[in-house]
Amino acid sequence: MASEHIRNFSIIAHIDHGKSTLADRLIQQVGLVSARDFREQLLDTMEIERERGITIKSQTVNLPYRTADGHLLELNLIDTPGHVDFSYEVSRALACCEGVLLVIDASQGVQAQTLACLYRAMEHDLAIIPVINKIDLPTANIERTKEQIEQELALESGRALLCSAKETIGINEIFQAIIQRIPPPSGSPDKPLTALIFDAQHDPFRGVIVSVRVFDGEVRAGDEIMLMSTGKVHLVEEVGIFRLKRESRPVLSSGSVGYIIAGLKEVSETRIGDTITQAHQPAPVPLPGFREMKPVVFCSLYPVSSEDYPALADALAKYVLNDAAFVYQKESSAALGQGFRCGFLGLLHLEVVQERLQREYNQSIILTVPSVRYRFLLQDGSSVLVDNPSHYPDPAKIKQVEEPYVRLTVFTPERYLGAVIKLCLERRAVELKHNFLRPGQREIFCQLPLAEVIFDFHDRLKSITQGYGSFDYELSDSRLAEVVKLDVLVNGERVDALSIIVHRQNAYRRAVKICEKLKQEIPRHQFPVVIQAAIGSRVIARSHIPAFRKDVTAKCYGGDVTRKRKLLEKQKEGKKKMKMVGSVMIPQKAFVAAMKIEE
Amino acid sequence: MNRKTAGLYIHVPFCRRKCPYCDFFSIPELTLLPAWLQAVCREAKYYQGKFKCFNTVYFGGGTPSLLSPSNLDFLLENLRRIFLITPEAEITLEMNPEDVSREKLRKLQGLGINRISLGLQSLDDEALTFLGRRHTAFQAEKALGQALEAGFSSVSVDLIYGLPGQKKQRWEKVLSRVAASRPHHVSCYLLTIKEGTFFARKILNGQPPLFWEKVQRDLFLFTSRWWKNQGYLHYEVSNFAVSSKHRCAHNLKYWQRQPYLGLGPSAHSFSQNKRWWNVSSVKEYCRLVSSGFHPVAERERLEPAQEKLETLFLGLRTADGVSLALFSNLPEDKKTLLEKQGLVKTRDDRLFCTEQGFLFTDALPLWLTGDFPLKVVAKGR
């Protein structure tokens, strides 16, 4: 199709402002799916996405749209992940578009990620169509939302569209705006091929399905293509477009969005943001913006029962086929046995991986406390990167430590300003500023250690602002940090899986909490159990689980035998889910609880 | 199948009203009694030939003393026609003190009932009120006296102790008054508070469970020593007898895994490696039996490992303990450790609990099999 009949666009929004519902409505409107077959939020194919109402893996769909005067257009909707962890993926998806629908909830108005999304779209020089969604809600305030669009987004509110994706109101106007206000792609089919990889998914039968936007040139089955970051050459088996299923096409030419199948086995062989070109006639330079995705949050995964280690290894190998951002390697722990150290893009990414392993691969796993990556400068001038407490260097040799910082933006109603500032300061925020956004609404900027964000910042913010606060962050730089390694000892034995690297000022608070938590979770034994938290050899917190003094059922007659035996069998079975540290049994949930400590 | 040593249990599922601590199956509804009598006899018939001979019979409940002597006569006569009940068989009837009278006792003896188990629960009016019993301490003591006078081969007394706030002196008073009559057998049950019950909410109510545990532990050891001083054998966790021949032969079958047949709703039966139990609705039980069906709710066939576990945890409840041969590989250090802690002793190739050990009979099987960790602990904690 000639490029003047193509529009490439994305929908961007603050979380829960109705992005996926709007996408569904657009798909339904062009007749790709009948109302009967319609499942809510078609693009969110993963169970977890559907359940949490967020999009993690982006999906793309080609919408055939016939105009009133009979022209057939192809509108490529490139869905983007909706969470801060995936901002690089979002930026690559936006690089494939010429315009965006910026969706704003009419009752909630502009939020932190609305702004973040807008800035990203502006960076890519995209046409921006503001869409005020959920106008059917009784709490909708269209006038106020328009004011915010003028004042906070500096967009013309007169050009904002009104819609209710849920009630199918204003959908045709959105199609008109896409066609009229988003420019068709430029680029030439005659130039050497440049195609941007913005996603890759694994298909058990076909291998890796690479999602691309072709900027220049053409690609067809039988071509030899080259991935420009690695120089690897592959033979194209099939090209095509995404409807709700894949539809093969003879060619993808400049301006198109579609897929390429070229015999790749694992998604890790492709890199999001990489450029595909023809092997025999390569483009002189790749498309800009490519960056290796680097994990920033690390934790260890262990099977609950050590005999499940091979099964976990297998599940990870399968999982990684579909998640290029996830990295892992073998590791072993004295307390937990064989396991894996894993890297994630952020805390949400971590939770998604954990849930998918548990749900789709049926793995019972123990997670250790997440950590960021610290740079230790040693006395001898060398430096080491440490993301795992068990690799903590000898404290005597440490000269200084650096930790990653983020630029954090928080949006909050004015009445919570004090609480939010207090939270930020508790989390070691620096360079804190706040802006008056509009009556009743504040915007807070600060620099904050990433370690403080991954440690339940989201939950705390939601709780102190009663759900009204929102935030966004991006990595900024590294700064000096004063950290210590906090160890947990159970009856004198160190539980390596519970060690954490923590800022000195938080060490005591964390130590007390962890001792309390473990006291609740570790069952009573025949002997007393002492839990200690220590920095080096100095114990800074302690708790005690007394031994039981009596464990006997008064009556055991004919009718009690079976019940009693089943109870003992259950206890035996339960022990398999416990980890032995010395002679103390620690249940899996103790490790989970230690990780989730509320203030 | 089981020709010699089986026990016969008849569950009488009726009560005047439910006691707040009891979790046995019963209903406060007497209109179903005639149907139940018929059903029990019909159910017994089914087992004719499968169980032939019993040397213990036990009427438990519920409140078996709600049955009139003629009810009992009807039952026993039918059971004797269907099975062989040996002439020297121990035949026990559980009785509530308010149902005891000289005349009734005489009639019961006439039926061949030779053992009475009296549900005294306490001889302390405050405790009796707390437990929701219908009788007074005076009635209870009187009933005990009459039962002993009547000349049964064995009279047993059920007591409950470890009540909230119960002081040692107060409990000792109850013990002294009971011991003064020299019953042949005494069962002393520590009040068990099951989580989530009305009792648990009422009693534990903010009280630290650890404190409760310590109080109960002390009372248990006190009780054990008290009866031993009186010359009684502490032959099972909660049971004491003046001599080994006055141990309850029927209950011993449960702990020694000998066969037993349970008739009536919710009754459990056991034979070889099979156990089964009846539905626990009186209506359903009667309906099933009268229409020719088995009233069995569930059955299980035990694996060798399960049999072993049962032998272990049941045997450890008794002073006889278990055979050391049961443990193919009991680590010597484990045994020594438990011996050192004064929880178990070994003699003549048997391992058995001390009075301290009785306090841990729920955990001991797992410690001994190595399923739960063990450590030396300082004594007297």
CATH number at residue A212: 2.40.30.10
pLDDT at res. A72: 93
State the Cα–Cα distance between residues B153 and B115, nearest whole angstrom: 6
Distances, alpha carbon A161 to alpha carbons A168, A413, B29, in Å: 13, 26, 73
Say what the alpha-carbon torsion angle A370, A371, A373, A374 is, to the nearest 10 degrees. Answer: -170
Q: Among B191, B262, B371, whose Cβ lies nearest the Cβ of A558?
A: B262
Separation of CA A396 from chain center:
37
pLDDT at B61: 86
Q: Does residue B247 share a domain with residue B309?
A: no
Domain boundary among B193, B226, B254: B254
* Token reading at A502: 């923590």
Q: Where are the alpha helices (DSSP H) in A262-413?
A: 309-320, 347-360
Where do the H-state alpha helices sit in chain B?
Answer: 33-46, 69-82, 102-110, 125-130, 137-149, 168-180, 198-204, 209-229, 249-255, 282-290, 304-315, 332-340, 355-358, 364-368
Q: Are A256 and A362 contained in the same domain? A: no
Tell which of A530, A549, A563, A586 to mutate to test the B interface (max B CBs under 10 Å): A549
What's the pLDDT score for residue A438?
Answer: 67
Q: Which of A 402-441 lie inside 8 A of B, CB atoms? A: none
Among A344, A367, A390, the domain boundary falls at A367
Rounded to an integer, what distance in angstroms lies between the CA atom of residue A258 and that of residue A189? 15
The domain in which residue A588 lies consists of 484-595
Q: Which residues of chain B make contact with A562, given a CB cutoff of 8 A?
A: 268, 275, 277, 300
Q: Are strands A6-13 and A99-105 parallel, antiparallel or unpaired?
A: parallel
Over pLDDT 90: what percentage of chain B?
A: 71
**Contact assignment for B192 to A555 by CB distance below 8 Å:** yes
Q: Are residues A403 and A473 in the same domain?
A: yes
Residues in chain B: 381
Q: What domain range is B313 assigned to? A: 305-368
A189 domain-assigned: no
Q: Under a CB-based contact definition with an 8 Å cutoff, are residues A100 and A32 in contact?
A: no
Residue B298 within a domain? no
pLDDT, one tens digit per residue, over B25-60 is 777 778 899 999 999 999 999 999 899 899 999 999
Task: Mark whether B314 and B237 lie in a shared domain.
Answer: no
Q: In this structure, are B84 and B205 located in the same domain?
A: yes
Same domain for A379 and A444, yes or no, is yes
The SS3 assignment for B286 reads: helix
Residue A385 and residue A413 in one domain: yes
How close A368 comes to chain B (CA, Å)? 24
Considering the domain architecture, whether residues B104 and B195 belong to the same structural domain is answered as: yes
CA B281 to chain centre: 22
CA distance A485 to A395: 9
**Same domain as A454, residue A501:** no
Q: How far apart are the first and last CA of chain B?
A: 50
Cβ distance of B359 and A551 shorter than 8 Å? yes
Q: Which residues of A touch B190 (CB under 8 A)?
A: 552, 554
Cβ-defined contact of B359 to A546 (cutoff 8 Å): no
Q: Is residue A149 assigned to a domain? A: yes
How far, in Å, CA of A329 to CA of A346, rounded?
18
- Considering the domain architecture, whether residues A327 and A455 belong to the same structural domain is answered as no
Helices B69-82 and B102-110: crossing angle, nearest 10°?
10
**For chain B, what is the domain count?**
2
- Among B254, B288, B320, the domain boundary falls at B254
Q: Are residues B249 and B309 in the same domain?
A: no
**Residue type (1 letter), B355:** E
Chain B contact for A569 (CB, 8 A cutoff): yes
Section B109-127 average pLDDT = 95
Same domain, B337 and B212: no
Q: Which of A453, A492, A491 minimizes the C-alpha distance to A471? A: A453
Q: Which of B309, B310, B360 is closest, CB to CB, to A552?
A: B360
The H-or-E segment that residue A120 falls in is helix A112-123
Query: Which H, E and C letters describe A11-27, residue by residue?
Result: EEECCCCCHHHHHHHHH
CB contact, 8 Å: A69 with chain B? no
Same-domain check for residues A338 and A259: no
Residue B194 has what pLDDT?
Answer: 67
The answer to the question of residue B153 being in a domain is yes
Question: What is the predicted pLDDT for the residue at B15?
Answer: 87
How far apart are the two ends of chain A, measured CA to CA in Å?
58
The answer to the question of residue A93 being in a domain is yes
Interface test with B, best of A557, A571, A581, A583 (most B CBs within 10 A): A557
Mean of the per-residue pLDDT values for chain B?
90
Whether A524 and chain B come into contact, CB under 8 Å, resolves to no
* Inter-chain touch B24–A528, beta carbons under 8 Å: no
Q: Are residues B319 and B234 in the same domain?
A: no
Q: Over the stretch A311-342, which tens digit does the pLDDT of each residue have?
A: 999 889 888 877 778 889 999 888 788 999 99
Give the global pTM: 0.70
Residue B38: other Cβ atoms inside 10 A: 15
Q: Which of B190, B313, B366 sits opposite A554 (nearest CB)?
A: B190
Domain count of the fold of chain A: 5
Residues B130-147 have pLDDT tens digits of 888 889 999 999 999 999
Whether the CB of A577 is below 8 Å from some CB of chain B: the reply is no
Sequence-separated (6 or more) residues with CB below 8 Å from residue B218: B168
Which CATH number belongs to the domain containing residue A347 in this structure? 3.30.70.870
- Whether the per-residue pLDDT at B379 is higher than 60: the answer is no
Are residues A504 and A450 part of one domain?
no
- Positive or negative, the Cα torsion across A91, A206, A47, A102? positive
Q: Are residues B187 and B334 in the same domain?
A: no
Could you say which residues of chain A have pLDDT below 70? 33-58, 82-85, 438, 596-599
3-state secondary structure of A482: coil
B293 found inside a domain: no
Asked if the structure places residue A232 within a domain, the reply is yes
Q: Do A547 and B361 touch (CB under 8 A)?
A: no
CA distance A403 to A373: 7
The one-character DSSP state at B184 is S
Q: Which residues of A504-515 are buried (b: 16+ CB within 10 A; e: fewer)?
A: eebbeebbbbbb
Chain B: residue whose CA lies nearest to A573: B371
- CA-based nearest distance B254→chain A, Å: 6
Closest chain B residue by Cα to residue A584 = B373
- Measured distance CA(A277)–CA(A296) in Å, rounded: 30
Residues B310, B185 within the same domain: no
Instruction: Mention every residue, 6+ apart, whose C-beta is less than 8 A from residue B331.
Output: B370
Instruction: Indicate whether A287 belongs to any domain.
Output: no
| Cα of B156 to nearest chain A Cα, Å | 16
Residues in CB range of B161: below 8 A, 6 or more apart: B122, B171, B174, B188, B189, B190, B191, B219, B223
CB atoms within 10 A of CB A91: 18
Does B358 fall in a domain? yes
Q: Does one domain contain both A157 and A17?
A: yes
Alpha-carbon span B154 to B183, nearest angstrom: 8
For residue A186, is it within any domain? Answer: no
In a domain, B221, yes or no: yes
The reply to whether A259 and A332 lie within a common domain is: no
B297–chain A nearest CA distance, Å: 13
Indicate the length of chain A as a whole number. 599
Does residue A285 sit within a domain? no
% helix, strand, coil for chain B, step of 5? 40, 25, 35
Q: Among B190, B220, B254, give the residue marking a domain's end.
A: B254
Contacts of B24 in chain A (CB under 8 A): 559
Q: Within a domain: residue B1?
A: no
State the Cα–Cα distance between residues A159 and B143, nearest whole angstrom.
96
Assess contact for B222 and B272: CB atoms under 8 A: no
A449-471 as b/e: b if 16+ CB within 10 A: bbbbbbbbbbebbeebbeebbbb
Does residue B84 sit in the same domain as residue B232? yes
Q: How far apart are CA A436 and CA A417, in angstroms?
A: 11
In a domain, A474, yes or no: yes
- Could you report the predicted ipTM of this complex, rounded to two decimals? 0.92
Q: According to the model, what pLDDT value does residue B24 have? A: 66
Q: Taking CA atoms, what residue in B is nearest to A580?
A: B373
Token pair for B347? 């003699």
How far is the alpha carbon of B298 from chain A, nearest alpha carbon, in Å?
A: 11
A68 close contact with B: CB closer than 8 A: no
Question: Which range among A24-28, A591-595, B207-211, B299-303 has the greatest average pLDDT?
Answer: B299-303
Min Cα separation A533/chain B (Å) = 23
Q: Please name the member of B210, B310, B361 whose beta carbon is closest to the beta carbon of A565.
A: B310
B199 and B338 belong to one structural domain:
no
Touching B: A residues 578-597, CB under 8 Å: 580, 583-585
pLDDT at A588: 77
Q: What is the pLDDT of residue A49?
A: 47
Pairwise CB contact (< 8 Å): B251 & A557? yes
Last residue of a domain, one of A367, A388, A420: A367
CA distance A511 to chain B (A): 25
Amino acid sitting at position B202: K
pLDDT confidence bin for B1, thresholds 50/70/90: very low
Q: Where are the beta strands (DSSP E) in A314-453?
A: 327-333, 337-344, 365-367, 374-378, 383-386, 398-413, 430-438, 441-449
Question: Does residue B72 fall inside a structural domain?
Answer: yes
Query: CATH code at B73?
Result: 3.80.30.20
- Are the C-beta atoms of residues A109 and A413 closer than 8 Å to each other? no
Q: Are residues B96 and B183 in the same domain?
A: yes
Q: How far is A314 from chain B (nearest CA, A)?
A: 29
Helix B137-149 and helix B102-110, axial crossing angle in degrees, nearest 10: 40
Q: Are residues A125 and A214 in the same domain?
A: no
Q: Are residues A18 and A153 located together in one domain of the fold?
A: yes
User: Closest approach of chain A CAs to the CA of B9, in angstroms?
Assistant: 9
A574 shares contact with chain B (CB less than 8 Å): no
Determine whether B111 is exposed, middle or buried from the number of CB atoms within 10 Å of its CB (0-12, 13-18, 19+): middle
Q: Averaged over B94-98, what is the pLDDT?
A: 95
Choosing from A455, A481, A507, the residue where a domain stops is: A481
> pLDDT tens, B221-258?
999 999 999 999 999 999 999 999 999 999 999 999 99
